[in-house]
A and B are shown apart, each in its own frame.
Chain A
Amino acid sequence: MNNNIKVQVLGAGCPTCKKLFELTKQVVKELAIDSEVEYITDIQKIIEMGVMQTPVLVINSKTVLAGSSFDLEKIKNKLKEAKY
């Protein structure tokens, strides 16, 4: 088990991006992951990641979800994968 996970949400500041951030925080809490979810609205960071769609969920510097089709279950699965 790996509890040392870096979780980031990248977004340009649209409501959908905030939603992803809120949901991710909720899941992190639920799964008892000891990490602070970082919310990045810095466009330069987003460009550096090379993604074409926001919002983006980044776990340990890897893009795991991009675009607006996400839900609680998907986020949970991705975080579980990273945790174990």
Chain B
Amino acid sequence: MDIFYPIQLFSDFISYGLMGVARGSYLGDTINFFIYDVIKIGLLLVFINYIMAMTRYYFPMEKARDILTKKRWFGMNYLMAALLGIVTPFCSCSSIPLFIGFLGAGIPIGVTFAFLISSPLINESSLYLFPAMFGWKVAILYNLFGLAIAVIGGIVIQKLKVEKYIIPELLKFKSRAQVETDNGGNKLSLKQLIIYFWKDGIVITKKIFPYVVLGVGVGAMIHGFIPNDLVEKYLSAKSLWTVPLAVFLGAPLYANSVSVIPIMDALVGKGVPLGTVLAFMTAIVTLSLPEALILKKIMKWPLLAIFFGITIIGIMLMGYSFNFIL
């Protein structure tokens, strides 16, 4: 049985029972979807952010950098970087200090990019939300694909010799030794840790939750009001142009992955092929106009274009493969 079944019962009760909207009507479906997804994703969000708080505590960005500088990993350092990108949470706000921090520590540019690509591509939602929303098969395939894009992208960028496109003044700076933040190095007891993770996670949940509600709202509208045959006619797997369209629509936008998931959920429910929907989400989460503007401060246009180009191609290939396989 679906562990989320009680939530379905509850939202059925609220929408069809208490509110008295008709089951199967446009409005009824919309309201039911909204209540169900807000509760379900809200609960998952609390859970995920708790795990992320633990990850941040035990695995700060500096640790990833140190692991990559200390060993050569027998040429496996691209894979290592991509794997580290998964466990380290990432916000595009941090992309500059991270990029410079990695390069400054002597990590090759291709390996740095492998990290930079995988970090937003494979994230808390693809690891923990996908299994709950789309099943294990999709979750595993997606994460493997993400890894492959990051590793291959990193290797290609290394081969292209792009160092000349980095704004050189920035690499001259020697950074001071990392200052110990938070807790001043004091060890916390297990009980304190449990509370610390909770507080840390809730801060993020509170910040994201309004956007999740917004995302669920959009998803609910799609779910309730967009006719199935319209989707079937124009967006089915047979039309090859839908994947590129999804990527180009998604790339300039930025939204938190958790708030895009309800929209995906609704689109898949309408019969839009999963690959197309995944491509859309990945493009939104991985690439964005704000991120481009931030990265532009440290890299020249050609490198920015290469980075975006490789990532876009990777996402499209993933979209097509999903449509083809599933």
- Determine if B179 and A62 form an interchain contact, defined as CB atoms under 8 angstroms apart: yes
User: Taking the complex as formed, is B84 at the interface, i.e. its CB lies under 8 A from any CB of chain A?
Assistant: no
> Which residues of the other chain, B, contact A14 by a CB distance below 8 angstroms?
91-93, 290, 294
A contact residues around B94 at 8 Å (CB): 12, 52-54, 67-68
Judging by beta carbons under 8 Å apart, are A49 and B176 in contact? Answer: yes
CB distance from B133 to the nearest CB of A (A): 24
CB distance from B29 to the nearest CB of A (A): 34
Interface range on chain B: under 10, 10 to 19, 20 to 34, or 35 or more?
A: 35 or more
For residue B181, CB closer than 8 A to chain A, the reply is: yes
Q: How far is the CA of A52 from the CA of B98 in the complex (A)?
A: 5
Identify the closest chain B residue to A64 (Cβ): B181
The yes or no answer to B269 lying at the interface (CB within 8 A) is no
A44, A52, A67, A74 — most chain B CB neighbours (10 Å): A52
Interface residue? A1 (CB, 8 A): no
Inter-chain contacts of B93 with A (CB < 8 A): 11-12, 14, 16-17, 53-55, 68
Q: How far is the CB of A76 from chain B (nearest CB, A)?
A: 13
- Whether B203 and A69, one on each chain, are in contact in the complex, defined by CB atoms closer than 8 angstroms, is yes
B294 touching A12 by the CB < 8 A rule? yes
Question: Roughly how many angstroms separate A64 CA and B203 CA in the complex, as a whole number?
Answer: 17
Inter-chain CA distance A44–B182, complex, in Å, is: 24
- The answer to the question of B178 belonging to the interface, with a C-beta cut-off of 8 Å to chain A, is yes
Interface centre among A46, A69, A70 (most CB of B within 10 A): A69
Q: How far is the CA of A62 from the CA of B176 in the complex (A)?
A: 11
B61 at the interface (CB under 8 A from A): yes
Residue A71 interfacial (CB < 8 Å): yes
What is the bound-complex CA distance between A53 and B297, given in angstroms?
16
- Contacting residues, chain A, for B170 (C-beta < 8 A): 43-44, 47
Given A52-B61, A53-B61, A53-B94, answer yes or no on A67-B56 (Cβ-Cβ < 8 Å): yes
Please report the C-alpha to C-alpha distance between residue A54 and residue B100 in the assembled complex, in whole angstroms. Answer: 12
Interface string of B38-79 (1 = CB under 8 A from A): 000000000000000100100011100100000000000000
Q: Is A51 close to B, CB under 8 A?
A: yes
B residues near A69, Cβ cutoff 8 Å: 53, 56, 200, 203-204
Chain A: residues with Cβ within 8 Å of the partner, total of 29
> In whole Å, how far is B300's beta carbon from the nearest beta carbon of chain A?
15
- Bound complex: CA of A48 vs CA of B59, how far in Å? 22
Is A47's CB under 8 angstroms from B182's CB? no
Which residues from chain B contact A50 at a C-beta distance below 8 Å?
101, 175-179
Contact at B200–A52, with CB atoms within 8 Å?
no
Shortest beta-carbon distance from A55 to chain B in Å:
7
Q: In the complex, what distance in Å separates the CA atom of A64 from the CA atom of B290?
A: 26
Q: Are A43 and B176 touching (Cβ within 8 A)?
A: no
Asked whether B2 is an interface residue with its Cβ less than 8 Å from the other chain, the reply is: no
Cross-chain contact B98 with A12 (CB below 8 angstroms) = no
- A48 touching B204, Cβ below 8 Å: no
B179's nearest neighbour on chain A, judged by CB, is A63
Q: Is A65 a contact partner of B182 (Cβ separation < 8 A)?
A: yes
Identify A68's interface contact among B100, B169, B176, B204, CB under 8 A: B204
- Give CA–CA (A64, B179) in the complex, Å: 9
B181 A49 Cβ-Cβ under 8 A: no
The residue from A13, A48, A53 contacting B98, defined by CB atoms under 8 A apart = A53
User: Inside 8 A of A71's CB, which chain B residues have their CB?
Assistant: 203, 206
Expressed in whole angstroms, the minimum distance between the Cβ of B87 and any Cβ of chain A is 14
A residues lining the B interface (CB < 8 Å)? 11-14, 16-17, 43-44, 46-55, 62-71, 74
Can you list 23 A-B contacts (CB < 8 A)? A11-B93, A12-B93, A12-B95, A12-B96, A14-B92, A14-B294, A16-B91, A47-B97, A47-B100, A47-B173, A50-B177, A50-B179, A51-B97, A51-B179, A52-B60, A52-B61, A52-B178, A53-B91, A54-B93, A65-B182, A67-B94, A68-B91, A69-B200
